Amino acid sequence: MHDKIYINLCCGPIRLKNWVNIDYINSSDICLDLEKDLIPFPDNSVDGLACISAINYFTFERGQEIIRDAFRVLRPGGIARFGVQDLRVLSAHYLNNNTTFWNQRLPSGQIRFPGKTLAQKFNAFFTGFSVGQGHNCKVIYDYETLEIFFRDAGFDQVEELAYRVSRLPDIELLDNRPEQMFFLEAVKEHEAAAFDPAAALRRADALLADNRHLAAWQELLSIARFTPHMRGGMTRLVETCIEHEEFGYAVTTVERHSAAGGKTMRRMLPSLALKRKEKERNILAPADLACLDARENRILSDFEHAQGCIEWLVQARSASKDGGVSSVYYPLRKAWGLSYPETTGYIIATLLAWSALTRDVRIGELAVALGDWELDIQSPCGGAGEPVGLVVSNPRSFNTGQVLLGWMALFEATGEPRFIRAAERAGQWLIGNVDGQGRFVRNVYQGPHSYKARVAWALFELAAMTGDRKYARCATRITDWTLEQATESGWFRNISLTDDLQRPWTHLISYTLVGLVQIAHLAPEGCDVDYIVKVLRKAALAISRAQEERSGLRMPGAPLPAQPGTYDPDWKSADQWSCLTGNAQSAFFLYRLDPYVAEDLKAPCREIITDLKRVHYMDGIDDPDLRGGLAGSWPLGGGYCAWTLPNWGPKFFADALLLFLNPTVSPRFTG
């Protein structure tokens, strides 16, 4: 066990025993001028570093270099604490003409803030306060600016802590002047440092013995993430996939981790490949389902279609083997998929809204049960878990944001503290995945994307529910970055799942638009709602035009919905198929934006809903696995979720219908 190393950076006259005190003063343990040199310690060698009332004596550029160097020298799990004068506090004292503050005296009797006027005193924080050898105060920070510098440096846990509240020892000897300063504390790679793979494997085995397979899976995924060469953990991953008959995932896991699992795992491949092929064999041929594409439903009432969606979601939950909502139904195989934590999360909010509208207690109880299922599989780090078999960078930022919406909806409906506690753990983890520019750069699929505006919405809701500003600060950065991706036409860059085709599905476009319009309704401090509406209006008019133009081209007797499956940057598309999930989300978006614009957006919204009713599997369908479901595409073999019925289609269709069913109340957390 190494002796712990703590650095008191820019220590001034405060010298701590058992710390390395660094400053340009000769009497320091290490005499160093940070204007010229950086911290003289090797990489990953320091346990803690404090820098109190000093970073403001360097330019922003040099301050960033110093913070990056602090990250370099800290060990995984190492802690940095910076205290600095708060621009917010000092500005308030200036604007409120607080002469008591500005006329303070030091113990020696000297005026603390020199100057004849308040303006001179205030400006001294930018140009004065010499500490010798040409070192003068150069900048003044607010928390948001310093937080961005720390996140850009690579710290994965950054937060504002109170005066003398810290993970570091001796902090009562360092912190000072709480009436004018804030204190930022950050942790480097805390998860990796704290992770014990042997303990995680023991927990996984205990959970498996208790038949809590999804909770065990999260422990196994942590092993794959932090210690991918642990043979016992990788073998258990494959064994768990096989037990759940997820042979495709088992093959992928063996191929990725065979070096860790050794010859035993590699010998499994031929038999796993055969089992995978057998499981994925279709019972029906695509031609057997041609009747579903050819039919056109009678258009029923909003209530009947919404009820059909809810009943199908209940059926999807009943078909699940593990307690969540099955991700998809495969009509060609007549089989249901694994429960999907991401979509189960936001389905919870829809079920609660339906329960409140209809007073159906059974649906409300189901929502609570799904929330508890999500709690049981919440990743040890706080993020939302993944289904058994899916070996990815676990968990995912976007998925966690969607589960967060469900937990908040449950807390609002029930007041049960367990749901808000889980939401706050998830929110804290999400903050650590966002860089200073507002991009999700950790635990993501193929880099930052605009559709994570939905996660910003969830974080704004969490800030409103808890009163904790850190969630709003992060959400504001995400929102600002998302709006930077908007083009003159109201289309968004960085929205497609792949970089080769800039023709994203309407599902992803609508994720972005709904996230932003929900933020506009919240109108959080720091967000320019007028600008958000300006951008969204362009998108709404483009969607409305497409609806009008393509509706006129519909052939008699053909139910093809007017919205295409994808849009290019000019809002053009030649697609002869439609992404039905995206259509439902587009309808919701138009309805929610309508109050902010002069144009009538409820008319095209209603037309999109009517289009969906034509292809919603309701009229004359008795099969409970189909009735109330909505295909990924029309036709079924189209370009989105081909030949499947995803659970998020009925969820979003129900959300849009709920707006018309209860127009005086927009259910919070739906959409």
Same domain? 31 vs 146:
yes
668 inside domain: no
Q: What global pTM score does this model have? A: 0.82
Same domain? 182 vs 299:
no
Pairing verdict, β 46-52 and 30-31: unpaired
CATH, residue 51: 3.40.50.150
Q: Which residues contact 558 (CB under 8 A, 6 or more apart)?
A: none
DSSP 8-state symbol, 284: S
Could you tell me how far CA 268 lies from the centroid of its own chain? 36
Mapped onto helix, strand or coil, the DSSP state of residue 481 is helix
CA distance 550 to 563: 7
- Distance from the first to the final alpha carbon of the chain: 52
670 inside domain: no
Per-position b or e across 328-361, b if 16+ CB within 10 A of its CB: bbbbbbebbbbbbbbbbbbbbbbbbbbbbbbeee
How many other C-beta atoms are found inside a 10 Å radius of the C-beta of residue 520? 24
Same domain? 266 vs 377:
no
CA distance 110 to 273: 81
CA dihedral 623, 624, 626, 629 (to 10 degrees): 150
User: Angle 648-661/341-358 helices, nearest 10 degrees?
Assistant: 30
- Range list of H helices, 290-443: 290-294, 302-318, 341-358, 361-376, 397-414, 417-431
CA distance 520 to 515: 9
156 inside domain: yes
Report how far apart, in Å, the C-alpha atoms of 176 and of each of 135, 172, 314, 540, 558 are: 20, 8, 57, 53, 74
Same domain? 118 vs 221:
no
User: Angle 197-209/231-243 helices, nearest 10 degrees?
Assistant: 20
Question: Which structural domain range is residue 209 located in?
Answer: 197-279
Domains held by the chain: number: 3
Pairing verdict, β 645-646 and 633-634: unpaired
113: which 2 tokens?
Answer: 């803030």
Name the residue among 655, 546, 660 with its Cα closest to residue 594.
660
How many other C-beta atoms are found inside a 10 Å radius of the C-beta of residue 19? 24
Same domain? 527 vs 574:
yes
- The residue whose two tokens read 């809204």 is 353
Tell me: cis bond preceding 635? Omega within 30 of 0 counts. Answer: yes
Strands (DSSP E) along 68-156, which ranges?
74-85
- Range list of H helices, 227-325: 231-243, 247-261, 263-267, 269-279, 290-294, 302-318
Single residue among 151, 166, 193 that ends a domain in this structure: 193
Same domain? 245 vs 303:
no
Name the residue among 462, 446, 321, 346 with its Cα closest to residue 399.
346
* One-letter identity of residue 648: W
When computed from its CA atoms, the radius of gyration of the chain, rounded to whole angstroms, is 28
CA distance 33 to 367: 60
**Residue pLDDT, tens place only, 231-250:** 788 788 888 888 877 877 77
Q: What is the mean pLDDT of each run of 10 residues along the chain (671 residues)?
A: 85 92 90 91 93 92 94 92 92 88 82 83 72 74 90 84 90 91 88 79 90 84 78 81 79 68 68 79 85 85 98 97 92 92 96 96 98 91 79 80 98 97 95 87 84 97 95 95 96 79 88 98 93 97 90 58 91 92 98 97 96 93 96 94 97 97 86 94
Same domain? 323 vs 451:
yes
Name the residue among 432, 457, 338 with its Cα closest to residue 381.
432
Could you tell me how far CA 9 lies from the centroid of its own chain? 34
Mapped onto helix, strand or coil, the DSSP state of residue 555 is coil
Same domain? 91 vs 204:
no
Could you tell me how far CA 357 lies from the centroid of its own chain? 29
671 inside domain: no
**Residue pLDDT, tens place only, 426-461:** 999 999 888 888 998 888 877 789 999 999 999 999
CA distance 164 to 173: 9
Mapped onto helix, strand or coil, the DSSP state of residue 604 is helix
104: which 2 tokens?
Answer: 């303070």
Say what the pLDDT of residue 2 is. Answer: 58
667 inside domain: no
Mapped onto helix, strand or coil, the DSSP state of residue 650 is helix
Same domain? 472 vs 549:
yes
- The residue whose two tokens read 């059926």 is 315
What is the DSSP secondary-structure string of 403-420?
HHHHHHHHHHHH--HHHH
How many other C-beta atoms are found inside a 10 Å radius of the C-beta of residue 663? 10
**Phi-psi domain of 49 (left: phi exceeds 0; alpha: psi -120 through 50; beta: other):** beta
Q: Can you count the helices (H) and strands (E) in the chain?
A: 25, 12
Say if residues 283 and 290 touch (Cβ distance below 8 Å): no
DSSP 8-state symbol, 668: T
Could you tell me how far CA 141 lies from the centroid of its own chain? 27
CA distance 8 to 478: 34
Q: What angle do CA 628, 631, 632 make, to 5 degrees?
A: 140
Pairing verdict, β 181-187 and 74-85: antiparallel
Helix (H) or strand (E) holding 496: none
CA distance 525 to 278: 55
CA distance 341 to 385: 6
Say if residues 440 and 452 touch (Cβ distance below 8 Å): yes
Single residue among 156, 172, 193 that ends a domain in this structure: 193
Same domain? 221 vs 170:
no
CA distance 647 to 339: 10
Say what the pLDDT of residue 11 is. Answer: 93
Say what the pLDDT of residue 393 is. Answer: 56
Mapped onto helix, strand or coil, the DSSP state of residue 389 is coil
448 inside domain: yes
Say what the pLDDT of residue 131 is. Answer: 61
455 inside domain: yes
Could you tell me how far CA 466 lies from the centroid of its own chain? 17
204: which 2 tokens?
Answer: 């996984």
Name the residue among 622, 660, 609, 578 with its Cα closest to residue 299.
609
Say what the pLDDT of residue 500 is. Answer: 47
Which H, E and C letters describe 10-61, residue by residue?
A: CCCCCCCCCCEEEECCCCCCEECCCCCCCCCCCCCCEEEEEEECCHHHCCHH
273 inside domain: yes
CATH, residue 429: 1.50.10.10
Single residue among 227, 259, 279 that ends a domain in this structure: 279
Same domain? 237 vs 255:
yes
Same domain? 29 vs 152:
yes
Residue 542 CA neighbour count, 13 Å, CB half: 24
What is the DSSP secondary-structure string of 606-632?
HHHHHHHHHHSS-TT---TTTTT---S
Mapped onto helix, strand or coil, the DSSP state of residue 137 is coil
